Structure 1
Amino acid sequence: MSIYILFLTAIAAPITIVLLLFLIPLYQDLSYRFQVWRQRSHVGSPPTFYSLPFGIPVFTRILKRLLKEKTLMPFFETLWHHRKAATFRQQVFGQFGIWTIDPENIKTVLSTNFKDYSFGNRNGAFAPLLGDGIFTLDGQGWKHSRAMLRPQFTRQQIAQLDSIERNVTTLISILKESPGQVRDIQALFFQLTIDTATEFLFGESVQTLSGGNPKIVHALEFGKAFNAAQAVLAKRIRLNSFYNALNPREFQDWCKTCKSFIESYVQMTLDKQQQNKNKNQDLSQGHSYVFLTELAKETNDPKVLRDQALNILLAGRDTTASLLAWIFYNLAIHPKVFARLRKEILDQFGTSPSTLSFESLKQCTYLRYVINETLRLYPLVPVNGRCAIRDTYLPHGGVNPADPDNYIGSKPVFVPKGTVVGYFVYVLHRDPHYWGADADEFRPERWAKHRENAHPWDYLPFNGGPRICLGQQFALTEAGYVTVRLLQEFSEIRGGDTLPVPPKLESQLTMSVYGGVPVALV
């Protein structure tokens, strides 16, 4: 009898698990369809795609493309091609989400119905590294962080190019030490942008290009640890509510390294604050607004200062470095674009940095086209999402029985509380409906003409709505300035024929070139 009971117990657990893997998604799906049925007079159900059991098969495909093949974004592009709908419901790892590339739906999530959405699991998933900051907080915490950052990115602040020039001069010297030698220019750009970002945001450069600032703990180790920790964060957020299942020891060590690095800056700022209080002096540095200095006037809580500083450094370093890497990847594999851009730069600026300014960079038309086209094909944040905090609606995506083949979906879509709406900028930027039959081609000249089906929200390299990137002008100015200075100094870029086409993508919190950009500037 006891053996029989043991046998039943042994098979009961796996049977229960299997049943739950099917019954939970079934309940979720039927519940959603019932709510849509009750509102059928004014909403429609989007196409729904299952991945049984429990959304695990599509999840494993995503992981394979992300981790092994480095082709996750092309996979999503192919997915939309097969789905034949701009908006649909997709089952992934136990949950149904709504995925969209419809500009009107994206506008609704990010702007029109902004208050209906939050970051969902992002704060918990990112907490081990980023804590509470502008990229993890919602509500009043986010508003306060943004208000503190806004003065850092005024035109007056961004137009001060001396810091960028000092660091670019160091980069140029490194490249000239071994002329014609193939080097990973992406790695150098990540060093460059952390040097400029720390000086711009914290008041003192970490000086990674010149051997490291001895006053900063882990000055040379930070970049590698920050990249590795972000890779884990990208995996954690894809686990939805199960993000805490991924917390390996090495990840904890990388987070500690990053926090120690930032804590050096925090302590330096607090020490200066105390010294100046003792002397009855203001803590400002000249006439420049330094984010960490100003934040220290509001709080001396080291954790608050550290979290906010780590959050903004993520944007200040990673986005600009990735943009520069993609620019030079494209210039390397398109020599005619390189030649035309260099000619315009020399015609407009000559070979001296003295002619460069915030205003003159904006007037360099073809440079602007090259940057725009780079951001179109390789958006720095290719996928994003928001979680509905109340029952709400998207304007498009519901199938109308009278027009079942409508790609956009002519009826509104019901979005229940707790549903994640994912918007895929990478796929939108390559949609032939908005960008033409050559949407997958790098062609800067397309920006010279008006597009027939253009939509105000079909190009989102820096997000949109109230949470649009505060630092976009800083990133564009730095990327433009660095590109001009390098093309003033170097007449040729070699190695384009050895770069993979199409490239493999390193999709973490931002998207960079997997394997780097090994080229030689001559």
Structure 2
Amino acid sequence: MALFAQLLYLLLLGVGFLALRRRIRQARFIKKHGCKEAPSLMGNTSFFGLDLRFLFLGCSNGGLETLPLERQFEVLGSTFRTQMAIRPVIRTMEPQNMQVVFSLDADSFGNRPLRHFSFSPLVGDGVMTLDGARHERARALIRPTFSKLHIENEEAYDVHVQKLINLLLTDGSTVDLQPLFERLDLDSSTEFIFGESVQSLDVSDSLASSHRFPAAFNVAQQGMGVRLRMLPFNFLHRDKKFWEACSTIRRFVAESVEKAMVRRQNANEETARSYILVDNVVQETSDNTEIQDTLMNVFLPGHDTIAILLSNIFFHLARNPRVWQKLRKQLLELPEITTGNLKRMDYLHHVINETLRVTPPVNNMTRIAVKDTALPLGGGPDGLAPVFVPKGTVIASSFYSVHHRKDIYGDDAEIWRPERWEELKLSTLAWKFIPFGGGVHVCPGQNLAMNRVAFTVARIVKVFDSIENRDPVAEFIPLYKLVTASQNGVKVSLHKANVS
């Protein structure tokens, strides 16, 4: 018993010594860098700020997640401390802080500790869940496929767009575009990534089995969102349907990889499908698990982002018929719809950028400090001093909030107005307009996404001469998953142009 007491005493003494040494080290760091305290928002309850967690979850379920956050920024400034469950959190809408987190001091902030447990059942290890050298290795595997030559392969993509257009009602009936865009993106992305489309836009009964993939993906995506929001208690997550959905998708991916390997080994068949991701990756590695993880780490963020961006664009166009007519007039002047021609369509890109600004698919992005560090702004009464960031602190960067800053985008920053981009220049908006993130983890498929979105919008606007909103709710009500969609969908009526 005496020995146990002595060991316990030594253990407590050691823990105390380490804690004291850490406090001394942190104090020296704070003094050296001139750090000052940021404004603080803590919950009223004494149990780890769980009231704040429930506030955000409640607002999220009601489509109002950004509302309390915007009010907090108004009261506390562009950077403040808070707490969610047992984790200290710093929320910021300061561009300079985001640049430090995602680029200048990216080695001090990790991605894997926050995402891996939530995402790994579906995506494993890849660009979404890795840091450092392993992350760079994962990016290297997909880099060749996202070269300029490959991302402009519009012929294969146009097949899916034409299927979508053929499904659009032309008799004045109401149609919800959002699920159709999800199916378009699902078909095109499964072909681009896995080498074969699930053909969800095809109404043939013979393809019913392929429709299991989109159903399983929706279940898996919702499950990952739940696991992410449960941090740090997500180890308590239990959902049989989630695991079954992940297994269904991984089986599809495994079959796609096996077919790609057969194509590569069979000299009598075409193997150089350079625009197909799986065919490129199997040339870089023979590790089956690494190949599958690589594919899923591209599919997960890429699939919904394009579909939701398209949905949000048409949400705004339906409420702004003037913009539709202006855009259509310019598109009709083009000799043909090609990626090259569309790159010269400034107004089309103004429409896309304004949608990314007002209703970004990704509202918020988090990182966790893997060592003691600092943010350049947010401390002191004026918010201009550095802020100390202890190891283990979560940094929540609000892309939505910085995109709505009136000091950057004007007093009408809350309004969707594409013409503002006639004066704004992307070169002057570094870290003030970041719909695809930035730095070492910037979305590798952003050019592909922009090309496909522009191509789809141009095709539809050219075929239909008018669009009418059929949703009685005029405002955009967010639906928060891993990305942010319209809770009410995109209910419209389209009128097909007469072809002379």
TM-score after normalising by structure 2: 0.88
Which residue number in structure 2 is paired with residue 230 of structure 1? 221
Contact 1:194–1:316 (Cα < 8 Å) also in 2: no
Question: Could you say which residue in structure 2 is the equivalent of 1:284?
Answer: 272
Query: Counterparts of 1:364 and 1:499 in 2: how far apart (Å)?
Result: 32
Find the aligned partners of 1:137 and 1:92 in 2 and give their Cα distance: 23
**Which residue is 1:515 aligned to?**
488
Instruction: Quote the Cα distance in structure 2 between the aligned partners of 1:413 and 1:485.
Output: 49
Secondary structure of the structure 1 residue equivalent to 2:479: strand
Query: 1:434·1:453 contact (CA, 8 Å) conserved in 2?
Result: no
For residues 459-470 of structure 1, the aligned pairs below 5 Å read 459-470=433-444
Residue matched to 1:87: 79
Partner of 1:114: 106
2:38 to 29, 43, 46: 46
Q: 2-side partners of 1:297 and 1:397: how far apart?
A: 47
Report the counterpart of residue 254 of structure 1 in structure 2.
Answer: 245
Do the aligned partners of 2:103 and 2:439 also contact (CA within 8 Å) in 1? yes
1:333-370 per-residue CA deviation (whole Å, 9 max, x = no partner) reads 11111121111211235xxxxx1222211111111110
After TM superposition, the structure 1 = structure 2 runs for residues 78-227 of structure 1, keeping only pairs within 5 Å, are: 78-83=71-76, 85-119=77-111, 120-176=113-169, 179-211=171-203, 218-227=209-218
2:48 alignment partner, SS class: coil
Structure 1 distance, partners of 2:334, 2:248, is: 44
| Displacement of 1:417 | 1.4
Give the letter for the 2:343 counterpart.
Answer: K
Aligned positions, number: 471
| Correspondence for 2:54 | 60
Match for 1:372: what amino acid? N
Aligned to 1:476: 450
Preserved CA contact (<8 Å) 2:354 2:418 = yes
Structure 2, gaps ≥5 residues long: 1-18, 496-500
Partner of 2:479: 506
> What letter matches 2:331 in structure 1?
I
Gaps of 5+ in 1: 1-27, 350-354
Q: Secondary structure at the match of 1:492?
A: strand
After superposition, the Cα gap between the structure-2 partners of 1:455 and 1:475, relative to the gap in structure 1 and judged at 3 Å, is closer
Matched, 1:305 2:291: yes
Cα deviation per residue 1:431-489 (whole Å; 9 max; x = unaligned)? Answer: 11211111110011111114899642110011111221111111111111110110111
Helix, strand or coil for the counterpart of 1:379? coil
The code of the aligned residue for 2:348 comes to L
User: Residues of 2 paired with 1:469 and 1:283: CA distance?
Assistant: 27
Report if the CA contact (8 A) 1:198-1:205 is conserved: yes
Distance (Å, rounded) in 2 between the aligned partners of 1:182 and 1:59: 38
Deviation, 1:105, is: 0.3
Would the alpha carbon gap of residues 390 and 167 (structure 1) be closer, same or farther in structure 2, given more than 3 Å must change?
A: same
- Indicate the residue corresponding to 1:242 in structure 2: 233
Q: How much has 1:134 moved relative to structure 2?
A: 1.4
After superposition, the Cα gap between the structure-2 partners of 1:348 and 1:273, relative to the gap in structure 1 and judged at 3 Å, is closer
**1:316 aligns to 2:302 (yes or no):** yes
Residue 304 of structure 1, CA deviation: 2.4
8 Å Cα contact 2:41-2:82 kept in structure 1: yes
Question: In the alignment, what sits opposite 1:495?
Answer: 469
- Name the residue aligned to 1:357: 338
The residue matched to 2:232 in structure 1 has which SS?
helix
Q: Give per-residue Cα distances to partners, 1:174-196, cap 9 Å, x unaligned.
A: 115x5322121111111111111
Question: Cα distance, 1:315 vs. partner?
Answer: 2.8
Q: Tell me by how many angstroms 1:317 deviates.
A: 1.6
Q: Specify the SS of the correspondent of 1:210.
A: coil
SS at match of 2:465: coil
* 2-structure distance, mates of 1:70, 1:394: 30
The equivalent of 2:4 in structure 1 is none
Change (3 A) 1:40 1:334: same
Alignment-derived partner of residue 393 in structure 1: 374
Question: CA 1:224 to 1:80, structure 2 compared with 1: closer, same or farther past 3 Å?
Answer: farther
- Tell me the alpha carbon deviations over residues 236-275 of structure 1, each in whole angstroms, 9 at most, x when there is no partner: 2222222111231122122222222322312322333343
* Structure 1 length-normalised TM: 0.85
1:421 and 2:409 correspond: no
Query: Residues 369 and 390 of structure 2 are in contact (CA less than 8 Å); yes or no, is this contact kept in structure 1?
Result: yes
1:135-173 CA distance string (max 9 Å, x none) = 111122211121111111111112221012111111111
Q: 1:188 to 1:32 in 2, by over 3 A?
A: farther
* Contact 2:360/2:484 (<8 A) preserved: yes
Partners of 2:323 and 2:229 in 1: CA distance: 37
Residues 209/282 of structure 1: CA separation in 2 closer, same or farther (3 Å cut):
closer
Q: Which residue of 1 aligns with 2:409?
A: 435
Code of the residue aligned with 2:484 in structure 1: it is M
Over the aligned positions, Cα root-mean-square deviation in angstroms equals: 2.5
SS in 2 for 1:385: strand
Change (3 A) 1:37 1:468: same
Partner SS for 1:221: helix
Match of 1:373, as an amino acid?
Answer: E
Equivalent AA in structure 2 for residue 198 of structure 1: T
Contact 2:127/2:441 (<8 A) preserved: no
Residue in structure 2 matched with residue 266 of structure 1 by the alignment: 257
Assess, with a 3 A threshold, how the Cα gap between structure 1 residues 242 and 449 changes in structure 2: closer, same or farther. same
Residue 421 of structure 2 is aligned to residue 447 of structure 1:
yes
SS in 2 for 1:494: strand
* Cα deviation code 1:9-54 (max 9, x no counterpart): xxxxxxxxxxxxxxxxxxx9xx989945973461101111111221
In structure 2, relative to structure 1, the CA distance for the partners of 1:217 and 1:492 (3 Å cut) is closer
Q: CA deviation at 1:89?
A: 0.7
User: Is 1:218–1:260's contact at 8 Å kept on the other side of the alignment?
Assistant: no
**182-191 vs 100-109, which deviates more?**
182-191
- Work out the CA distance in 2 between the residues paired with 1:254 and 1:199: 20
